C-alpha cells in the first residue's frame, strides 16, 4: 500500500512522502526498509534514530522522517496490522468428516471443519467458523461471527453472543468445582445445573476454563478479554471490557465490575466484588472487596503504593533485625549498669536534705 493510502485508512495525518510503498509492519527494532513501525511509549524515543523503518506511526512528527501522526499510535498500529494480515478463513460448508445433528440449526455461510461435532438442538449464527475437533454440546446457542479454534468446547445449554472468539482448548461451561462432604469424609458431587453465558465481542485465549454455575449462571460480559490458562469459577461475573491476564484464578462467585484489570497470576477468594476500574498487580491475592479505581498488590493484597514501599524494605529486614537486636542489648546493658551503681543523688530514707 502507498503510505498515503494507509494514512487515509487509519485517519492519520501524513507527514512525508505519501507515494512511498509499504509492504508490512514491524516493531521499531526489527523493522526494515519498506515497513511501517510505531512509537507509543516516549521512553523508547531514542530508538527512533536507529530504526530502518520507512515510516513511523507517532504522536508528533519528527523532522526528516516519514510519519503518520496519530492520537493513539498503539491502536493505529494494531489497525495497520489488520490491513496487511488477515488469517486464512476456511471455505463455507460442512466437511464430510464432521458430524452435525439433524436438529441443529446452522446460519448462513458457516464453515464446519473435519471431526467437528455439533450436538442436538444447537443453534449456530451466521458466518461461524468451527476449526477441526471443535465440539458443541446439546442445546448450546451461539450468535453470529463465532470463531472457535481446534479443540475448543462449548458445553450443553450454554449461550454465546456475537463476534466471540475461542482460542485452542477453551472450555465454556465445564462443571464447576463443587462437592459436599459426607459424614464418612467422602465427597458427594454437586450437580452443576446452571450455564455459562458469554456476551458479545469477548475473546478467550488458549486453555482457559469458564465453568458453568451450580445454579443460575456464570457470565462473561461484553468486550471482556481473557488470557490463556485462566480459571473462571462457577457463578463468577467478569465485567464489561475487563482484561484478565494469564494464570489468574477466580474462585466461585467472584464479581468483577467494568474495566477491571487483573495482571498475571492473580488469585481471588470467592464471594467478593472488585469494583469498577480497579487494577490488581501480578501475583496478588484478593481476599475481600476492592474499592472502585483502587490499585492493589501483594498477598494478601493492599494499596499498591504501600506495597511498593514494603517490598523495597523487605530485602533490608535481616539488617534491620540485627540493628534492633544490637539496640536491645545496649538498652539492657544500660539498665543493668544503672541498677548496679544506684542513684547517688537519692537522699537516705527519713532525712530531709539541708
Burial class of residue 64 in the structure, from the number of CB atoms within 10 Å of its CB (0-12 exposed, 13-18 middle, 19+ buried): exposed
Per-residue pLDDT for 229 more than 80? Answer: yes
Name the helix (H) or strand (E) containing 24.
strand 24-25
Length of the chain: 354
pLDDT band at 132 (very low <50, low <70, confident <90, very high): very high
Residue 302: the pLDDT is 86
Neighbouring-strand partners of residue 95:
none
Identify which of 190, 189, 151, 191 has the alpha carbon closest to the alpha carbon of residue 172: 151
Q: Which residues are catalytic?
A: 234
Average of per-residue pLDDT across 237-249: 98
The mean per-residue pLDDT over the stretch 96-105 comes to: 98
CA distances 82 to 3, 48, 76, 79, 202, Å, are 15, 23, 10, 5, 18
In contact, 129 and 148? CB cutoff 8 Å: yes
Residues of each domain in the chain carrying CATH 2.160.10.10: 93-305
Identify the pLDDT of residue 161.
Answer: 98
Mean pLDDT of the chain: 93
How far apart CA 197 and CA 256 sit, in angstroms, is 15
What share of the chain has pLDDT > 70, as a percent? 96
Query: For residues 148 and 131, is the Cβ–Cβ distance under 8 A?
Result: yes
Average pLDDT of span 298-311: 89
Per-residue pLDDT tens digits for 23-76: 999 999 999 999 999 999 888 888 888 899 999 999 999 988 999 999 999 999
pLDDT of residue 348: 52
Q: How far apart are CA 350 and CA 248, in angstroms?
A: 77
DSSP state string for 232-256: E-TT-EEPTT-EE-TT-EE-TTEEE
Are 286 and 265 in contact by the 8 Å Cβ rule? The answer is no
CA–CA separation, 303 vs 221, rounded Å? 27
pLDDT tens-digit readout, 278-297: 999 999 999 999 999 999 99
Nearest by Cα to 19 from 1, 31, 36, 37: 1
User: CATH 3.40.1390.10: which residues of the chain?
Assistant: 3-84
Q: How confident is the model at residue 343 (pLDDT cuts 50, 70, 90)?
A: low
CATH topology of domain 3-84: 3.40.1390
Please give the share of the chain, as a percent, with pLDDT higher than 90. 82
Task: Decide which of 154 and 45 is more confident.
Answer: 154
Q: What does the pLDDT read at residue 317?
A: 87
* Predicted confidence (pLDDT) at residue 346 exceeds the cutoff of 80: no
Residue 221 grid coordinates: 460480559
Q: What is the distance between the alpha carbons of residues 281 and 297, in angstroms, rounded to a whole number?
A: 5
- Which residues are 231's β-sheet partners? 209, 249
pLDDT at 22: 96
pLDDT confidence band for 338 (50 / 70 / 90): confident
How far apart are alpha carbons 264 and 18 in whole angstroms?
42
Q: What is the pTM of this model?
A: 0.86
The highest-level CATH class for domain 93-305 is mainly beta
Pairing of strands 99-100, 55-58: unpaired
Residues near 68 by beta carbon (within 8 Å), at least 6 away in sequence? 3, 6, 7, 10, 12, 13, 14, 15, 36, 55, 56, 57, 58, 76
Q: Provide the strand spans (E) within 234-334.
A: 237-238, 243-244, 249-250, 254-256, 261-262, 267-268, 272-274, 279-280, 285-286, 295-297, 302-303
* CB within 8 Å of 349: residues ≥ 6 apart: none
Above 90 in pLDDT, residue 347? no
- The answer to whether 40 and 73 have CB atoms below 8 angstroms apart is yes
Res 271 pLDDT > 80: yes
Amino acid at each position: 500500500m502507498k503510505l498515503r493510502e494507509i494514512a487515509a485508512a487509519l485517519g492519520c495525518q501524513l507527514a512525508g512522502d505519501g507515494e512511498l510503498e509499504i509492504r508490512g509492519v514491524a516493531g521499531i527494532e526489527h523493522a526494515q526498509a519498506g515497513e511501517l513501525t510505531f512509537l507509543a511509549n516516549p521512553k523508547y524515543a531514542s530508538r527512533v534514530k536507529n530504526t530502518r523503518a520507512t515510516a513511523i506511526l507517532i504522536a508528533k512528527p519528527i523532522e526528516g522522517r516519514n510519519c503518520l501522526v496519530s492520537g493513539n499510535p498503539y491502536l493505529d498500529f494494531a489497525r495497520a496490522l489488520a490491513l496487511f494480515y488477515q488469517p486464512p478463513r476456511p471455505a463455507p460448508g460442512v466437511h464430510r468428516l464432521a458430524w452435525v445433528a439433524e436438529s441443529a440449526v446452522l446460519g448462513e455461510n458457516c464453515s464446519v471443519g473435519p471431526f467437528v461435532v455439533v450436538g442436538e438442538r444447537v443453534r449456530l449464527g451466521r458466518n461461524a467458523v468451527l476449526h477441526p475437533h471443535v465440539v458443541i454440546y446439546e442445546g448450546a446457542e451461539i450468535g453470529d461471527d463465532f470463531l472457535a479454534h481446534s479443540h475448543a468446547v462449548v458445553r450443553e445449554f450454554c449461550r454465546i453472543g456475537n463476534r466471540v472468539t475461542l482460542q485452542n482448548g477453551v472450555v465454556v461451561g465445564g462443571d464447576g468445582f463443587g462437592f459436599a462432604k459426607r459424614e464418612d469424609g467422602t465427597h458427594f458431587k454437586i450437580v452443576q445445573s446452571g450455564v455459562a453465558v458469554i456476551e458479545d465481542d469477548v475473546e478467550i485465549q488458549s486453555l482457559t476454563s469458564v465453568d458453568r454455575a451450580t445454579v443460575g449462571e456464570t457470565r462473561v460480559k461484553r468486550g471482556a478479554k481473557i488470557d490463556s490458562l485462566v480459571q473462571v469459577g462457577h457463578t463468577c461475573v467478569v465485567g464489561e471490557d475487563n482484561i484478565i491476564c494469564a494464570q489468574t484464578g477466580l474462585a466461585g462467585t467472584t464479581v468483577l465490575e467494568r474495566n477491571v484489570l487483573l495482571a498475571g497470576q492473580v488469585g481471588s477468594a470467592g464471594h467478593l466484588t472488585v469494583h469498577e476500574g480497579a487494577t490488581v498487580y501480578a501475583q496478588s491475592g484478593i481476599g475481600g472487596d476492592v474499592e472502585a479505581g483502587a490499585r492493589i498488590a501483594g498477598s494478601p493484597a493492599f494499596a499498591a503504593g504501600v506495597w511498593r514501599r514494603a517490598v523495597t524494605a523487605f530485602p533490608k529486614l535481616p539488617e534491620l533485625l540485627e540493628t534492633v537486636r544490637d539496640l536491645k542489648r545496649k538498652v539492657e546493658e544500660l539498665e543493668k549498669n544503672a541498677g548496679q551503681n544506684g542513684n547517688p543523688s537519692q537522699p537516705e530514707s527519713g532525712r530531709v536534705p539541708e
